[in-house]
Copies of this chain bind each other. A is one copy, B any other.
Amino acid sequence: MNYYPHPAEGLDLKEVNAAIEEAFAEHGRGKVQMPAKLYTYFEHGDFRTMPGYIPSMGMAGVKIVNVHPGNRAYDLPTVMALTVIIDIDTGIPLAILNATKLTDLRTAAAGAVAAKYLSPQRSITLGCVGSGRQAQTQVRAIAEELEITEVLVWSRNSNNAEDFCEINRDLECRVSGIERVAGCDVVVTATPSRKPLVMGEWISDGTHINAIGADATGKEELDPAILNRATVIVDDPAQAVHSGEINVPISKALYNEKMIAGTLGEYVLGHKQRKNQDEITVFDSTGLSIQDLAIAKIAISGKDSIDLPFS
């Protein structure tokens, strides 16, 4: 059994996107096992347990990931993760990965795959609602799939938005009002919001939205009017209903899960596709264990590890 303390180092984003795309394709083919993630709740946060198995990749295991919004006080990230990889033939634990950065990368890669298949054009303006680690990683992952002519960013804290543009100075990046950000060709929402931030009247026809922030019951970032006007594509229906962007509107009878257009896997396979240039598409991302397994496969390849006795 080997422990990998820094498996995200040196990963090529294009290669990550390809691995995540393949995981979604296998999901679309119905060739994976992935029970919906389990939540355990603490007073100041929660942790999620995410088992999965991708036979075609020979990868099986479990990611364990927490969300503790108050962790800045401890000088720790809000989200930290560990992935355990299990041998398929014998069940023996093979590898343990520090999966904190891998979680960022695989989530961003899902957004990049969604933008690749759902954006109506190859050259886009990109709007970021939120300027945190995930928004930043989405920009880099999407840049591997589409040409970004301009990035507009909005944050509750304008200093954070300015820092975000400083990091992205190689792209045309500007801090902007949220309405203008929502007017970009592709919009990423990546905040911990528990009420809608992006209003329906700000969204133009033909926009693609990656709705990333809502990943637990009670979280939402989009005006439900957007969901009703848009084609909603989920990563996994059970998880999206429980904890994705659609969870709050469903609980308030403002959205019906029967309106879900399909899964990202179906779009990757070409079983479904954007109908026209004017369609608004929303990718509702909750994060799948099979993404964690797919990135683990390329992350441990040739990487330094610590050998641990297991007997």
The chain A residues found within 8 Å of chain B, CB to CB, are: 3, 5, 33, 35, 38-47, 49, 51-53, 60-62, 64, 66-68, 71, 74, 76, 80, 82, 84, 86, 88-93, 96, 98, 306, 308-311
- Assuming the A-B contacts A40-B52, A53-B40, are A76 and B62 also in contact, with contact meaning beta carbons closer than 8 angstroms in the complex? no
Of the residues B40, B41, B45, B91, contact of A68 by C-beta under 8 Å: B91
Contact of B47 with A49 in the complex, beta carbons under 8 Å? no
Closest to A76 in B: B90
**In contact, B40 and A33 (Cβ under 8 angstroms):** yes
Asked if B64 and A62 make an inter-chain contact with CB atoms under 8 angstroms apart, the answer reads: yes
In the bound complex, do residue B47 and residue A86 qualify as a contact, i.e. CB atoms below 8 Å apart?
Answer: yes
Q: Tell me how far the C-beta of A34 lies from the nearest C-beta in chain B, rounded to whole angstroms.
A: 8
Q: Are B62 and A80 interface neighbours, CB within 8 A?
A: no
The residues of B that contact A76 with a CB separation of less than 8 Å are 90, 92
In the bound complex, do residue A88 and residue B33 qualify as a contact, i.e. CB atoms below 8 Å apart? no
Partner of A91, one of B51, B80, B88, B93: B80
Q: Decide: B47 and A74 in contact? CB cutoff 8 A.
A: no
B51 near A5 (CB under 8 angstroms)? no
Residues of B within 8 A of A96 (CB): 96
The smallest beta-carbon distance between A42 and chain B, in angstroms, is 5
Please give 13 more A-B residue pairs, beta carbons under 8 A apart, in addition to A49-B62, A66-B92: A5-B311, A40-B53, A42-B53, A42-B89, A49-B51, A62-B64, A66-B90, A71-B90, A71-B91, A76-B90, A80-B92, A82-B84, A306-B306
Known A3-B308, A5-B309, A60-B47: A67·B91 in contact at CB below 8 Å: yes
Flag if B51 contacts A38 (CB, 8 Å). Answer: yes
Could you tell me the distance between the alpha carbons of A281 and B89 in the complex, rounded to whole angstroms? Answer: 38
> Sorted from nearest, which 10 A-B pairs have the closest CB atoms?
A66-B91, A49-B51, A68-B91, A35-B38, A5-B309, A82-B93, A40-B51, A40-B53, A49-B62, A33-B40
Question: Could you say which residues of chain B place their CB within 8 Å of the CB of A93?
Answer: 64, 80, 82
Q: Are B68 and A90 in contact (CB under 8 A)?
A: yes
Residue of B nearest to A74 (CB): B90
Is the pair A42, B66 in contact by a Cβ cutoff of 8 Å?
A: no
Q: Are B42 and A60 in contact (CB under 8 A)?
A: yes
Residues of B within 8 A of A90 (CB): 45, 66, 68, 71, 74, 76, 80
Q: Once bound together, how far apart are the Cα atoms of A33 and B93, in whole Å?
A: 25
Please give the distance in Å from A211's CB to the nearest CB on chain B. 24
Find chain B residues with CB under 8 A from A92 CB.
66, 76, 80
* Least CB distance, A283 to chain B, in whole angstroms: 26
Complex CA distance for A45 and B89, rounded to whole angstroms: 8
A294 to B148, CA, bound (A): 52
Residue of B nearest to A96 (CB): B96
Cβ contact within 8 Å between A98 and B310: yes
Within the complex, the shortest CB–CB distance from A33 to chain B, in Å, comes to: 5
Cα–Cα distance between A262 and B39 once the two chains are bound (Å):
26
Q: Provide the bound-state CA to CA distance between A12 and B59, in Å.
A: 38
A118 to B71, CA, bound (A): 46
